[in-house]
Chain A
Amino acid sequence: SSTTTMTTSTSAHPHQLFYPLYIVPGIAVYKGTVNDPTTFPPPSRVHVSYHWAFERLLSAGLVPLTVAAFVTSPSTYPVLDGILGVSLVMHSHIGFDSWIVDYLHPRKFPVLGPTATWALRTATVATLVGVYQFNTNDIGLTELIAKVWTA
């Protein structure tokens, strides 16, 4: 009997299906050969240390902002409500971005990673518009939470 093989055939792992290249569990498909070094992002203060500092300052600032917003009556200080809303959305955006960087990095997921990044940006813009509309045309986030809590 003759067999046509180029390499020795490996038996597939019992739980392994053939995953498409854009969703591969646990394996990276490398650009170039195994002898090519990995790529690094270009050094950038904005994307690294300034981003880190901004993230921590924002998180720290959310504490007095939340306390102030809920202690004072929201109808008397709508600007405070607005600042809290924007800060919360920015904090959430940075948090979701860290999910993408950790689980869907573009280096490993060349299609899904950038798609998720842009989907997040779209959702954040929509959320900001929604928060603005709610704070302007309606009672605002802090008052909604206060009223729902005591409903």
Chain B
Amino acid sequence: MMSTKVLGLGPSLRKPAFAPRLVRNQVVARNLVVKRSVQTQSLPSTAAVEILDKQRLRRPSSPHFTIYQPQLTWLGSIANRATGGALSALLYGFSIAYLVAPGTFDSTHVIEFVAGLPDVVKYAGKALLAAPFTFHAFNGLRHLSWDLGKFLSLKAAYATGYVVIGASAVSTVALTLYGN
């Protein structure tokens, strides 16, 4: 047939058609060959979901957070969350510490402790507190302006982002130097 030649099925169709059929011998040969047998176990149909869940637990997830290009947009966003979380953790920590041990954490002890620190540590500590506070405050204003519908384009997001970073830097310096 023309189609078999075109499709390349010629040789495979030719062989069984013209070779002598030794059906019995082939069956015997097949039984003599050692084959791997798979034993099956009977499970209820509800086990399918369980097996699927177990399979899902073993699947890896593709890298996402580790490979995304650093950009002002999401770096600013996570920085806002991180600074807020850090400052709130400080507030919560101090309040609970004062509740638990008012003798150790009352204002006189805290002020004494800070006054006794070397100047370098005082400056560093102030900068370390002022930087997240100012960034969170200015970025918060940026967020509120988005909620009012302003500055929502990409260009505006970048421009306001740089303004926030600049304002944070300036006010951090100002706050660190204040009070000395």
Contacts and interface: CB of A to CB of B under 8 A. Distances in A.
A1 interface: yes
B49 A130 contact: no
B106 A138 contact: yes
User: In which size bucket is the chain B interface?
Assistant: 35 or more
Contacts of B115: 151
Interface in A1-28: 1-7, 10, 12-13, 15-16, 18-19, 21, 24-27
A151 B59 contact: no
Nearest to A12: B58
A151 B114 contact: yes
Contacts of A131: 95
Contact of A130 (B41, B96, B114, B126): B96
B136 to A, nearest CB: 10
B66 interface: no
B148 to A, nearest CB: 9
B10 interface: no
Interface string B36-54: 1111110100000101110
Interface string A23-58: 011110110011000000000000000000000100
7 contacts: A3-B38, A10-B55, A13-B59, A91-B88, A99-B85, A138-B98, A148-B110
